[in-house]
Chains A and B, each alone.
Chain A
Amino acid sequence: MILQSLLGFVAALLLAPLLAGVTNRVKAVIAGRCGQPVLQLYLDLLKLMRKGSVFSSTTTWLFRAGPVVGLASVVLAMTIVPCAGSPGLVSFTGDFILLAYVLGLARFFTVLAALDTGSSFEGMGASREMLYGMLAEPALVIGLVALGRATHEWSLAGMCRGIGPLGTTGSVSALAAAALALVLLAETCRVPFDDPNTHLELTMIHEVMVLDHSGPDFAFIQYTAALKFWLFGALMAAVLLPPAGNPWLAPAATCAALLVIAALVGIVESVMARVRLTKVPQLLVGAAALALFALMIQLR
């Protein structure tokens, strides 16, 4: 069991950048372009790791610590997420609270690193990031609490074990997965919350916070973002997929689900524009409402 968990964890660390390539390829195909190679993010990361760095003279050690804390926190979060039918490396009662708060730690330091530059743009991005995070966190927690109540398990691995596709938990996990999908888009800075390809500092959110990072630091940030995408994708897959008996079926199904989620994100990004900044809170409160519904339908 622990070997499977370890394999899942290593696979996540190695394959996470692939998903971004899938999303980009889907976007390119829909737009009628050839698009960049699917492995482009790997190449970018390698190139960035070999580069030197440029730092703003305003910045301090905190600016340099931001990407380090971000990456370490997300790697820790990755150990909690169940992958491919096996529990995460770390699994205990209430582990999803640690997951949410570790992601909060990453956000806190990313925001501080942005404020350290003293840039007005990065300050605005930091402020918006905090707004989104503050709204996404309750949606994530309530969604998982709904699953906990449905399965009478309070660890992520237990919840995923207890989910049956056609049983009583079907509607609960569907609603929770819908809430999770919105949280995924918000936390990974995707349309309709944020546009990773925007080129105007004023409208960026995540991208503007990391404008001043370069070299290996920027590679860490890109890699962290890829890991975060895998993390939420794996969580959604675990919530939606029924536990499989076959030890080979579960990893295959999870990989397929992750590819589908990456492709779906690409489709969403191709067919719709991001919503206005002032409307974003409504969307995230909507996610929290979905999660609350998942709880309410169990009250009878």
Chain B
Amino acid sequence: MNLSDSAAAQPQIGMMFLLFTLSVLLTGGLFALATGRAARISSAIGAITSALGGMLGCCAGVQALCASAPLRFDAAWHVPFGSFSLLCDPLAGVFLLAASALTALAGVYGHGYFASWRGKKPLGVLWCCFNLLTASMLVVITARNAVLFLVAWEVMTLVSFALVVFEHEDSSARDAGLTYLIAAHVGTACLLAMFIVLGQSSGSLDLAQMGVAGRLAGLVFVLAVAGFGTKAGFMPLHVWLPDAHPAASSPVSAVMSGVMIKTGIYGILRVLGMLGEPAPWWGWLLIGIGAVSGVLGVLFALAQHDLKRLLAYHSVENIGIIALGMGLGVLGRAEGMPDLAALGMAGALLHVINHAVFKGLLFLGVGAVAQASGTRNIERLGGLLPRMRGTALCFLIGAAAIAGLPPLNGFVSEFLIFLGAFKGAGSTVQLMAAALAVIVSLALIGGLASACFAKAFGIVFLGAPRSAAAAGARECCALMRAPMMVLAAVCVVIGAAAPWAVRALSPAIAQASGTAPEALVIAAAPLYWIALCAAALIVLLLVVALARKLSRAGKPTGQQVTWDCGYAAPTAKMQCTASSFAQPLLDLFYAVLRTRRDEDLPRGLFPVHARLHTHTPDLVRVRLLTPVVRRAYALMRRLRVVQHGRLQLYILYIVVTVVALLLWKLR
């Protein structure tokens, strides 16, 4: 085969896949909307097209990662300053792959999950929005024109808003949606300002040609962190996240948390590519944000009783880990240490994929649990493992992966960031301080996350059921289980095949860190040992399990109640609850968490009544946002003088304005 031919043909195929994906998703969405009356057909069309589109999108992502030159597509678009140009480079490929794969699986899952909604909810609208969300994410990731980017960004926001408030009968969903809408638009405002600065200084709205240097670069970076950080959920900007994820349905939360918030990370990486040589303080800023988001995110997660809220705070934590990696990457670039830059970015990008996998898995698992038991309150669950074996196993793998335990994928990305931090720790004092911040935060996050998921898995799936609803839970349908199993398998595969996973991502890592791929190959060499140890661990597990089997062969096995100090009538209520499991840890961090306790302690010799309710409101919301909003309201109230509801006077305002403008023009 002619080599130059294949090089020329390759981009074509990749871009064709992407365009085909978009058209499948959009037509599928439209057909689902059109057949909305026949819920069964509409749902099938939606699920099939989202799965098919996702698979095609995966192909496009793989092509973009492998292609020697970025894939391009240009079409005319009658919008001022706009053009429908798409660019698919390796960096976009990573996000494309994550977004397509997860939405495909969530689509399959959704077909099972939404089956109970048939006839009650407009499923056509739901599937249309779902496919639009996927399509808009793909366009955001590949857009090369700033106007196209912002339009796709806005569509993504509005469609995800619609999906958050889909169960609008519930007032909490409406509130969550409103918070999300406001937060998202504050972020978009920052992005608008950022693109104006970028466009002004580079004279083009083509993302591939934009660039700015000097002090303006710092401004653009801060605007990008604020604007994209709102979507990503960086700590002081995360307020919408813990409300929106519980409000949305499970497949939607999986997509939103697994990949939609990653578009913020993508945006920051993309803008970093436009800004040339970074300044060290950018790295410091990202590390600071990462440390705060990571540690506080997991702490607040530990204090939650609602499973989805818990997972939402874990998204903040994982975005923090990604920010730590990006911070090291930026710092390495600024200080001229390519191995540090490559390792930091490698950790960040791999964690983007990993988080999409295990957080998607966990949200789907919670959806199965919530549907089987009718509640997401951890305190009312328990004993689900024997009732939902497949879901439990998948959730366990996801929980161990998100806690960063070997031999699963979460460990690999955290290990890469640790490796980067060691490069920094052996260097100058400034770099060592940054590296130390990363190491301490990661070590703390690791311990707290495993405590949190020991709680989430242990209380929900183990022990005896704490309510009749949990006792009556049944395993979900195969259509819901299959995507979870695929995701769980990916967790294991990425964990065991770590060096090859990193090698597959190396073009994107090289692009994000501005280093040659060789720097990464040398720096990430210990991953081969990690893969070896993962294999050794699996072999050891089998050997020990075999030893256990052999030693128990032919021996008597008895059954008893759990040891309860001889108490004759234990009940499920006497088990350790999620609150009591987390209490020592929460007490330790009371200074930041401020958990409120509302309690009636048992009194007298024969207490009959006792009650404990704990609530941990969001720190930023209570301490920062609410006072600011209240102050703003107080200021705005003064404007009510002009807002009195008298139509005649409003018309007078208009007339006065028009006359004033006229005079100004005539002057």
Q: Say whether A associates with B.
A: yes
- Decide if A148 touches B422 in the complex (CB within 8 Å): yes
With A60-B462, A137-B443, A216-B548 as known contacts, state yes or no: A92 contacts B529, CB within 8 Å: yes
Least CB distance from B425 to A in Å reads 6
Docked-complex contact A98 and B563, CB < 8 angstroms: no
Does the CB pair A115–B576 fall under 8 Å?
Answer: yes
CB distance from B581 to the nearest CB of A (A): 5
Most buried by A among B382, B406, B576: B576
Known contacts A138-B444, A281-B588, A53 near B555 by CB under 8 Å = yes
Q: Is chain A's interface secondary structure helix, strand, loop, or mixed overall?
A: helix
Tell me the smallest distance from the CB of B359 to a CB of chain A, in Å.
18
Q: Which residues of B contact A281 (CB under 8 A)?
A: 588
Question: Which single member of A71, A92, A108 contacts B450 (CB below 8 Å)?
Answer: A108
Contact B552 A216 (CB under 8 A): yes
Contact of A255 with B by CB under 8 A? no
Interface string of A30-64 (1 = CB under 8 A from B): 00000000000000000001111111111110101
Closest to A79 in B: B536
Contact, CB under 8 Å: B464 / A58: yes
Cβ–Cβ < 8 Å partners of A97 in chain B: 415, 418
Q: B386: CB under 8 A from chain A?
A: yes
Q: Which residues of B contact A266 (CB under 8 A)?
A: none
Cα-based distance from A298 to B557 in the complex (angstroms): 58
Interface string of A210-224 (1 = CB under 8 A from B): 011001110110000
Q: Enumerate chain B residues within 8 angstroms of A219, measured Cβ to Cβ.
A: 551
CB pair A76 B540 closer than 8 Å: yes
Q: A23 on the interface (CB 8 Å rule)?
A: no
A-B contact pairs, 14 of them (CB 8 A): A53-B552, A57-B561, A58-B383, A68-B545, A94-B418, A101-B404, A102-B533, A102-B537, A104-B405, A104-B447, A115-B458, A124-B580, A138-B440, A216-B552
- Report yes or no: B557 in contact with A98, Cβ–Cβ below 8 A: no
Contact A101 B411 (CB under 8 A): yes
**Contact digits for B432-453, partner A, Cβ 8 Å, 1 yes 0 no:** 1000100110011011101101
The yes or no answer to B52 lying at the interface (CB within 8 A) is no
> Chain B residues with Cβ under 8 A from A118's Cβ?
382-383, 462-464, 562, 572, 575
Interface pair B581/A126, CB less than 8 Å apart: yes
Using CB atoms, name the residue of chain B closest to A93: B526
Chain A residues close to B by CB (< 8 Å): 49-60, 62, 64, 67-69, 71-73, 75-76, 79, 90, 92-95, 97-98, 100-102, 104-105, 107-108, 111-112, 115-124, 126-128, 130-131, 133-135, 137-138, 141-142, 145, 148-149, 152, 154, 201, 211-212, 215-217, 219-220, 277, 281, 295, 299
Provide the residues of chain B in CB contact with A145, threshold 8 Å: 422, 425, 436, 439
- Nearest 7 pairs between A and B by C-beta? A123-B576, A134-B447, A115-B458, A118-B463, A52-B556, A72-B540, A92-B529
Shortest distance from the beta carbon of A163 to any chain B beta carbon, whole Å: 16
Closest to A208 in B: B563
Query: Is B272's beta carbon under 8 Å from chain A?
Result: no
Chain A residues, Cβ within 8 Å of B647: none
For A299, what are the chain B residues with a Cβ–Cβ distance below 8 Å? 429, 432
Contact in complex: A130, B450 (CB < 8 Å): yes
| B588 with A131: CB separation less than 8 A | yes
Given the known interface contacts A60-B462, A68-B541, A124-B576, the answer about A201 and B426 at a Cβ–Cβ threshold of 8 Å is no
Contact assessment for B405 and A101 in the assembled complex, using a CB-CB cutoff below 8 Å: yes
New A-B pairs, 4, CB < 8 Å, besides A51-B555, A118-B575, A121-B565: A98-B415, A108-B453, A119-B575, A126-B581
User: Count of chain B residues with Cβ under 8 Å from any Cβ of A?
Assistant: 76
Does any Cβ of A come within 8 Å of B584's Cβ? yes
Q: How far is the CA of A149 from the CA of B426 in the complex (A)?
A: 5
On chain B, the residues within 8 Å of A101 by CB distance are 404-406, 411, 415, 446
A250 to B250, CA, bound (A): 58
Which chain B residues border A51 with CB–CB below 8 Å?
Answer: 555
Identify which of A54, A68, A98, A124 contacts B406 (C-beta below 8 A): A98
Q: Cα distance A299–B432 when bound, in Å?
A: 9
Question: Is B574 part of the binding interface, using a Cβ–Cβ cutoff of 8 Å?
Answer: yes
User: What's the nearest-Cβ distance from chain B to residue A213, in Å?
Assistant: 10
Kindly identify which residue among A62, A69, A76 contacts B462, using a CB–CB cutoff of 8 Å.
Answer: A62
- Do B533 and A90 touch across chains, with their CB atoms under 8 A apart? yes
CB B299 to nearest CB in A, in angstroms, measures 11
In the complex the two chains form, what is the Cα distance from A219 to B552 in whole Å? 12
Assembled-state Cα–Cα distance A4/B576 (Å): 47
**Number of A-B residue pairs having CB atoms within 8 Å of each other in the complex:** 239
- Given known contacts A93-B422, A115-B576, A148-B426, A55 and B551 CB-to-CB distance under 8 angstroms: no
C-alpha gap A101/B449 in the complex (Å): 12
Bound state CA distance, A59 and B458, in angstroms? Answer: 12
Task: List the A residue with the shortest CB-CB distance to B429.
Answer: A299
Asked if B41 lies at the interface with its beta carbon under 8 angstroms from chain A, I say no
Please name all residues of chain B whose beta carbon is closer than 8 Å to the beta carbon of A75 when the two chains form the complex: 540, 544
- B422 close to A154 (CB less than 8 A): yes
B457 at the interface (CB under 8 A from A): yes
Minimum Cβ distance to chain A for residue B225 (Å): 27
The reply to whether B450 and A54 contact each other, CB–CB distance below 8 Å, is no
Among candidates A57, A94, A127, residue contacting B415 with C-beta atoms closer than 8 Å: A94
Contacts of B385 in A (CB 8 A): 60, 62, 116
**Cα–Cα, bound, A75→B540 (Å):** 8
Asked if A130 and B563 make an inter-chain contact with CB atoms under 8 angstroms apart, the answer reads no
**Closest beta carbon of chain B to A201's beta carbon, Å:** 6
| A127 and B533 within 8 A (CB) | no
CA distance A299 to B435 in the complex (A): 14
B588 A108 Cβ-Cβ under 8 A: no
Taking the complex as formed, is B400 at the interface, i.e. its CB lies under 8 A from any CB of chain A? yes
Residue of A nearest to B532 (CB): A90
Q: Which residues of A contact B406 (CB under 8 A)?
A: 98, 101-102, 105
- B440 to A: closest C-beta gap in Å: 6
A123 to B463, CA, bound (A): 10
Provide the residues of chain A in CB contact with B577, threshold 8 Å. 123
Which residues from chain B contact A127 at a C-beta distance below 8 Å? 576, 580-585
> In whole angstroms, what is the CA distance A212 to B565 when docked?
12
Q: Which residues of B contact A73 (CB under 8 A)?
A: 537
In the assembled complex, the Cα of A52 lies from the Cα of B553 at a distance in Å of 9
Nearest chain A CB to B544 CB, angstrom units: 5
Q: Closest CB of chain B to A255's CB: distance in Å?
A: 25
Per the bound structure, the CA–CA distance linking A127 and B422 in Å amounts to 31
Q: A55-B557, A149-B425 are in contact. Are A131 and B548 (CB under 8 A)?
A: no
Question: Which of A97, A131, A154 gathers the greatest number of chain B CB atoms within 10 Å?
Answer: A97
Which residues of B are found within 8 Å of A130, using beta-carbon distances?
447, 450-451, 454, 581, 585
Name the residue on B nearest A70 (C-beta): B544
Residue of B nearest to A280 (CB): B584
Chain A residue nearest in CB terms to B423: A154
Quote the shortest CB–CB distance from B181 to chain A (angstroms): 37
- Interface readout for B400-415 with A: 1 if CB under 8 Å, 0 if not? 1001111000010001
Q: Which of B515-555 contact A (CB under 8 A)?
A: 525-526, 529-530, 532-533, 536-537, 540-541, 543-545, 548, 551-552, 555
Which residue on B lies nearest to A97, using beta carbons? B418
Bound-state Cα–Cα, A90 to B552, Å: 32
Whether B450 contacts A56 by the Cβ 8 Å rule is no
Q: Give the contacting residue for A126; candidates B415, B525, B574, B576; CB below 8 A.
A: B576
Shortest CB distance B462–A (Å): 4
